[in-house]
Homo-oligomer: A and B are copies of this chain.
Amino acid sequence: MALAANLKSNDRLYQDLARSLLAELSSGRYPVGSRLPAERDLALRYEVSRPTVREAIIALEVQGLVEVRIGSGAYVKRLPGEEDRPGFNVTAFELTEARLLFEGESAALAATQVTDADIAEIEVLVQRIAEENQDPNGTESADREFHLAIARVTRNVAVFNAIERLWDLRASSPEAALLHEKARHANVKPVVEEHSAVLDALRARDPNAARAAMRAHLSAVLEGLLFATEERALAAARKATQARRERYARATA
């Protein structure tokens, strides 16, 4: 099996082969620590030459996915999905808490920098969320765009990138994506209202109001998240986050 027919053949052979091997890693066929077939065997199986197999394996090696031991074989070092960048495995709660802190300040700074053109752009994004209500993916995208647009208004690349990164982490965390989807379903209207409140604060160029509105919005998201967590019977997780939430709410009240 696994002949040349499996290869897409738009790229070079080694790239196709690397992609195929990547897919096999993702499929769980070769768990971390296991050994890949010998180069000669892979060459036979995929009907390519051994140099081509070596090129594909080197491509995986450079990416840190496999480790080649001379005379022994190529061993799986890391699975494709497991990013090596730190902070990949953050909980949905941590991500949203971080957004609550950072995006609140982002909104406050944005209120001091915002222009009329910015406001017009953000108005469109607020509308889009309401319009794309029917399509879950659509609202997800529009929601992201709204928050990133505000971060962009700060005119601070470091601030923008930090917040964008939080969204990227959320996208790459299956748990977070799942929880947010569950949490958002019944909440599209409140989200629009809360976004509008932030927009109003920006219009008024009032940083404190913008911070408060953004924090109120993300506090609501956090609440929804905890509710969704509870629904999924993650009782243990809820216990920990609940205590934490109360402690933080009590301290900042």
Chain A residues near B (Cβ < 8 Å): 12, 14, 51, 54-55, 58-59, 62-63, 70, 86-87, 89-90, 94-95, 97-98, 101-102, 104-106, 108-109, 111-113, 155-162, 164-166, 169, 205, 207-208, 244, 247-248, 251-252
Q: Across the interface, do A159 and B108 meet the contact criterion of CB distance under 8 Å? A: no
A89-B157, A205-B251 known; 6 other A-B pairs, CB under 8 Å? A59-B59, A90-B161, A94-B158, A98-B162, A101-B106, A113-B244
Question: Beyond A62-B63, A108-B252, is A162–B166 a contact (Cβ under 8 Å)?
Answer: yes
User: Smallest CB-CB separation from A211: which chain B residue?
Assistant: B252
Top 8 nearest A-B pairs (CB, nearest first) are: A87-B161, A101-B105, A98-B158, A112-B251, A62-B62, A90-B158, A94-B158, A90-B157
Measured in the bound complex, the distance between the Cα atoms of B14 and A155 in whole Å is 43
Query: Measured between alpha carbons, how far is A94 from B97 in the docked complex, in Å?
Result: 23
- Oligomer: number of copies: 2
A98 in contact with B58 (CB, 8 Å): no
Please judge, given known A-B contacts A55-B58, A157-B90, A162-B98, whether A105 and B104 are in contact too, CB under 8 Å.
yes
Cα of A89 to Cα of B97 in the assembled complex, Å: 27
- Shortest CB-to-CB span from A247 to chain B, Å, is 5
Chain B, Cβ-Cβ closest to A157? B90
The answer for the CA separation of A55 and B39 in the assembled complex, in Å, is 15
